Structure 1
Amino acid sequence: MSVTLDIRLKRANKVYRDGEVVAGVILLVCKEALQHHGIALTMEGLVNLQLSSKSVGVFEAFYNSVKPIPLVSSVVEVAKAGKIPAGKTEIPFEFPLSGKGNKVLYETYHGVFVNIQYTLRCDMKRPLLAKDLSRSCEFIVHSQPQKEKVVPAPVHFTITPATLQNARERSLLPKFLVKGRLDATSCDIGRPLTGELVVENSEVPVKSIELQLVRVETCGCAEGYARDTTEIQNIQIAEGDVCHGLAVPIHMVFPRLFTCPTLETTNFKVEFEVNVVLVLQDDLLITENFPLKLSRV
């Protein structure tokens, strides 16, 4: 027998905040009347932590103690055992969204070593010889707006061979001077990162100028901490040997789900940085790093 089970949320964007009600319908479509042994709906919010392969041997004790951190857990029976009539059936549901105990509902975030996810799962138990049905649906949680207003403070920077931190032989580097400005490093996650960059002079041609957004994820406990940096996105803002003295605009939107307000807890941290990358002739990479503090305003 062909049966379709689906979860439809009332909000098209699926975005909710702590204290709101997650509402929708369970949609069942079947050609004939359907016998079942009960329909249950589960709301779950978890923080999943994992270590990178390079840290496994170093923190073996920690590696075995990494367990998901529950944020939300709630189960409700939406229909007792019985029959679903042929055709289309909608069963409405409502869930109050609140943390388990005193748990804070962190914002939805899909990272590499830290993953914060909220799901609804519908389970329908079927009679013997009929396969049970299950359907999951992710919804997105946004943290409450920050009460304190973020005052943008422009950050001016100058990049020359003398300012580079990890350059081994500065005397062998070609001479160049790049000046620029980031309008803010304490950013509202809903607004783009903006600024400008000017190549004042360079002995060798510039091949490309790029903005690289990276996440810095830290997982830890008493046994130690593992800190890993991975790239989220790389945006090219200029290609080829740009005109000297010409302002190149910096504009980068923070991607949904892959960024969240900067988080610091006892078990994990999620931080963000942006790299301004200059690619010179012969693929010489010049990188300037700026820590970012993201918040939801």
Structure 2
Amino acid sequence: MSVSLDLRLKRANKVYHEGELLSGVVVISSRDVLQHQGISLSMEGLVNLQLSSKSVGVFEAFYNSVKPIQLVSSNIEVVKAGKVPAGKTEIPFEFPLQAKGNRVLYETYHGVFVNIQYTLRCDMRRSLLAKDLSKTCEFMVHSQPQKSKVQPNPVDFTITPDTLQNVRERTSLPKFLIRGHLDASTCVITQPLNGELVVENSEVAIKSIELQLVRVETCGCAEGYARDATEIQNIQIAEGDVCHGLSIPIYMVFPRLFTCPTLETTNFKVEFEVNIVIVLHDDHLITENFPLKLVRV
């Protein structure tokens, strides 16, 4: 006997906000009449925190603080035990999306050490001889947009050998002057990061200019924090020895799921930075770092 169970949400993009109704249908397809012991739906929202290998063992107290944080959890029985007719059966459902107690529904985010995920699961219990069926689907939660307007706060930068941090032998560096600006350091997550960069002069030929988006994830408790920066994406904006004095556009779209509005809670933080990386032909690497604040409006 061929039986399949599926979950379909009414919204094609699967994006919801706190307080909304999660609605859809449970789809059961069967060649014959199907006997079951009940069909239930469960919704769960979890923040999973993980320690990087360099932090494990350093803070014993971390092991208690990195337990999953449950944001939402609820169950409903869709159908009591009985029979489902042969063919295709669609059972509609509605689920209110409400946080547990005084918790906040953070935005869906897939990181390395911090993961915020919301899932809907359907279970069909069957008799001893038949295998139980289950189907899970993920849906996205977007945080409520902030009411206030985002003020554009452009960032101008000048990169020379003298402005660089963490340089051992400054005298051995070739001379260069790079200017530019980012249109804003507080960015709307649905809009691209814009700006421009101009190579005024450089003693050594340039090999490549890249934009690197970095997430900085912090997990921890009062005893200490583990802070890890990992790359999300790297976009090459220029290749080869670019013309001096020519304006090079900076343009980066924030990828969905791997970014979220900047988040700061007692147990974890998710922050973002962008690096402008200039690779010279002698393989010198020049990096300028800019913290970003991401918001949803």
Q: Same fold (TM over 0.5)?
A: yes
Which residue identity lines up with residue 235 of structure 1 in the other structure? I
**Counterparts of 1:165 and 1:243 in 2: how far apart (Å)?**
26
Partner of 1:192: 192
Amino acid at match of 1:12: A
Match of 2:92 in 1: 92
Q: In structure 2, what is the Cα distance between the partners aligned to 1:282 and 1:199?
A: 17
- Paired position in structure 2 for 1:211: 211
Partners of 1:125 and 1:283 lie apart in 2 by 62
Shift of 1:24: 0.3
Cα displacement (A) at 1:37:
0.3
Task: Report the Cα offset of residue 26 of structure 1.
Answer: 0.5
- Provide the C-alpha distance between the structure 1 equivalents of 2:282 and 2:6, rounded to a whole number of angstroms: 55
User: Secondary structure of 2:62's partner?
Assistant: helix
Give the aligned partner of residue 125 of structure 1: 125
1:166 matched to which residue of 2? 166
**Which letter does structure 2 place at the counterpart of 1:229?**
A
Specify the alignment match of 1:287 in structure 2.
Answer: 287
Distance 2:286 2:241 in 1: 15
Amino acid in structure 1 at the alignment position of 2:67: K
SS at match of 1:171: helix
Q: Which runs of 4+ in 1 moved over 2 A?
A: none
Are residues 1:68 and 2:85 paired?
A: no
| Aligned partner letter, 1:51 | L
1:189 and 1:106 mapped to 2: Cα distance? 15
State the partner residue of 2:32: 32
Q: CA RMSD in A?
A: 0.8
Report matched runs for 1:1-297 at 5 Å. Answer: 1-297=1-297
For residues 264 and 61 of structure 1, what CA distance do their matches in structure 2 show?
A: 20
After superposition, give the CA deviation of every residue in 1:160-193 in whole Å (9 maximum; x if it has no partner): 0000011111100000000000000100000000
Q: Percent identity?
A: 80
Paired residue type of 1:156:
D
Deviation at 1:226, TM superposition (A): 0.6
Offset at residue 222 of structure 1 (A): 2.5
Per-residue CA distance 1:59-118 (angstroms, 9 max, x = gap): 123125421101111100000001111110001000111111111110000000000000
How far the C-alpha of 1:221 sits from its partner, in A, is: 1.1
TM-score (norm 2): 0.99
SS at match of 1:201: strand
Q: Is the 8 A contact 2:65 2:220 kept in 1?
A: no
Change (3 A) 1:289 1:160: same
Q: Distance in 2 between matches of 1:126 and 1:60?
A: 44
Instruction: Tell me if structure 1 keeps the 8 A contact 2:204–2:282.
Output: no
**Inter-partner Cα distance in structure 2 for 1:66 and 1:248:** 43
CA distance in 1, matches of 2:213, 2:288: 12
- Deviations 1:101-142 (CA, angstroms, capped at 9, x unpaired): 111110000000000000000011010111111110000000
Cα distance in structure 1, aligned partners of 2:120 and 2:215: 27
Question: Which ranges of structure 2 fall in alignment gaps of 5 or more residues?
Answer: none
CA distance in 2, matches of 1:273, 1:97: 32
The TM-score normalised by the length of structure 1 is: 0.99
* Corresponding residue SS for 1:63: helix
